Amino acid sequence: RHRQPIIAIDGPAGAGKSTVTRKIAQALGLLYLDTGAMYRAVTWLVLQSGIAIDDEPAIAEIVSQCQIELIPDGEQPRTVINGEDVTEAIRSLEVTANVSAIASQWAVRQALVKQQQAFGRQGGIVAEGRDIGTTVFPDAELKIFLTASVQERAKRRLLELHTKGKIEVTQEQLEQDIAQRDQLDSNRAISPLRKASDAVEIQTDNLTIDDVIQRVVGLYSREQGTA
Ligand code: CDP
Ligand code: CDP
């Protein structure tokens, strides 16, 4: 093998990708690549610039010129675009509502996948997103596909928002948002959300985060042992 191993973690919103990926990166000493943060950062930039979200040529132009940095910083890496720290701003409802539309555009995916592959050239990373196992790192040593029901995922988000003191949304609204993003992400033409044929699917409705981490670390150890 001419590079360090790669773990790919895909799945829909709220399946537990970020939480699990962050902890696995720490436990195994791998770099954490949050590709969703990159699509969110571009979406933030587009909204900020006042460009219409369906103005594909203008967005292609912006994306080809922007610089995204993912800076390790303890548990939660910082996301910086064109020198501006947008770590918190990219989690807004407005960004969340528009990110799938922008992530479906060819020029956006082409530019970001290229940057993700450059980030992973040496390996030694655990990357999470929607198309990591299918498109970004199709030769990853371990591919995981995390799932959970829409209800369970909305419940998790609601709990998260309550913990942060944000209570302006209901479980129903969250279910709608999640179902709509599932729909857009799964049905777009370019690298839709899909389980790679060689990915291990983990249904997490009745699993804790630690259960999931144990499963993934176990699979990884086995893979390393047989490599
Ligand atoms: O954290 P959450 O699951 O809500 O979303 P995320 O992982 O931050 O991703 C936000 C959006 O970016 C997704 O709904 C997708 O539309 C898009 N995305 C994508 O298209 N491909 C990826 N590899 C990662 C995210
Ligand atoms: O990144 P993604 O959107 O897939 O999900 P996340 O942001 O990592 O997880 C959403 C929420 O679900 C977090 O607050 C996790 O603590 C929680 N979670 C859980 O309660 N049980 C799991 N098995 C996985 C995640």
Give yes or no for residue 225 having a pLDDT over 90. no
pTM of the predicted model, to two decimals? Answer: 0.94
Two tokens, residue 85: 């720290």
Q: Probe ligand 2: pick from 18, 19, 21, max atoms within 8 Å of CB?
A: 19
Regarding the beta carbon of 35 and ligand 1, being less than 6 Å apart is answered yes
Whether the Cβ atoms of residue 12 and residue 152 lie closer than 8 Å to each other:
no
Question: How do residues 194-209 score in pLDDT, each as one tens digit?
Answer: 999 999 999 999 999 9
Return the structure tokens found at 62: 């912006």
Calpha distance 58→47 (Å, rounded): 12
User: Residues in the chain, how many?
Assistant: 227
CA of residue 12 to ligand 1 center, whole Å: 8
Binning pLDDT at 50, 70 and 90, where does residue 169 land?
confident
As for the ipTM of the complex, it is: 0.96
Cα(148) to ligand 2 centroid in Å equals: 10
Q: Are 152 and 168 in contact (CB under 8 A)?
A: no
% of the chain with per-residue pLDDT over 70: 99
Q: What is the pLDDT of residue 227?
A: 59
Please give the sequence-ordered ranges of beta strands (E in DSSP) within the chain, or none if there are none.
6-10, 31-34, 68-71, 78-81, 84-85, 125-129, 142-147, 200-203
Q: Which atom of ligand 2 is nearest to 159's Cα?
A: 14
Ligand 2 pocket list (CB less than 6 A): 11, 13-19, 156, 160, 204, 207-209, 212
Question: Could you give the strand order of the β-sheet that contains 84-85, starting from the edge strand earlier in sequence?
Answer: 68-71, 78-81, 84-85
Name the CA dihedral angle for 117, 13, 19, 63, rounded to a multiple of 10 degrees. Answer: 40
